[in-house]
Amino acid sequence: MISVVGCATTDELSQARGDLGRQILVTNEKIDTVERGIAPLKDEITGLRAEIEKTNEALKTLRSSQAEVRAEMTEMREQLQQSRGVADGLRDELRREIAASAARASKREEEEKDLREKLDSLIFKINFIENFLEIGKKEETAAPAVEKGGKPPAPAKEAAAKGKTDKESLYAAAYDLFKQGKYDKAREGFENFLKLYPDTEFSDNAQFWIGECHYFDKNYEKAIVEYDKVSKNFPEGNKVPYALLKQGLSFLKLGDKASAKLLLQQVVKDFPNTSQARIARTKLLEIK
């Protein structure tokens, strides 16, 4: 039995060894097969690792570039803030300069306005003097009658009572009152003169001075009516441009710019080369 059992065990062992050897062989073959299949994967893995390293390097470079870009952006922001600060400063300075320029311009406009008013006043005074000079020749014939005697001429009623019809003396008396600023009495004197002498070389002047008496008393509506009589009753007289001008100025005093503008334009059109036309042009420039 022992011999039989020993033989059986040896056979089984040999068979087991053979089976194990075959399994080892098969396993080795499988390993070889796997290794042969893995070899390309190893190469691919190596290649992938190389790509990964390159990618990492690229990422490092990109991160470095991004850092530089961030630094540049930070610097640009700082520069922009500085520029904004400078721009704000320049803008404030520019605003101050504009405000100062506007103030200077406003001051110049005020000065120009004052100068224009002074100029207008001077022109008006010149015009007023010209009015006196214009009638100088006519009034020189009447004035000596007052000056030589050293006494003022008799009032209109007194002259009429004495039977005097001296038109020069009567006119000179009213004119002398006007020069003294006694506009009410002067107006009465000129009105009496016109009643007695409605059509003489002094009549258009007398009518004009009646309008002037109302104007200097600031009765502009009445002045307009009286100035209008100069143009209507004495269209050929030399007082027409004066009357039209003063009529326009009276409307301007009343705030009626439209009527004033029409009359001043008429003066410029009908009497272009006169001092009255120059004054009218100046006034037209002021009317808006």
CATH label, 117-286, candidates 1.50.10.20, 3.40.50.1820, 1.25.40.10, 3.40.50.150 = 1.25.40.10
Average pLDDT over residues 25-34: 80
Q: What does pLDDT average to over the chain? A: 80
Q: How confident is the model at residue 8 (pLDDT cuts 50, 70, 90)?
A: low
Show me where the domains of the chain are located.
1-116, 117-286
- Burial class of residue 219, CB neighbours in 10 A (0-12, 13-18, 19+): middle
Predicted pLDDT of residue 108: 78
pLDDT in tens, 61-79: 878 877 886 888 888 888 8
pLDDT in tens, 223-276: 999 999 999 999 999 999 999 999 999 999 999 999 999 999 999 999 999 999
Average pLDDT over residues 43-55: 78
Residue type, 82: Q
Q: Of 5-9, 32-36, 59-63, 110-114, give the lowest mean pLDDT range.
A: 5-9
Q: Identify the residue with better confidence: 154 or 10.
A: 10
Share of the chain above pLDDT 90, in %: 40
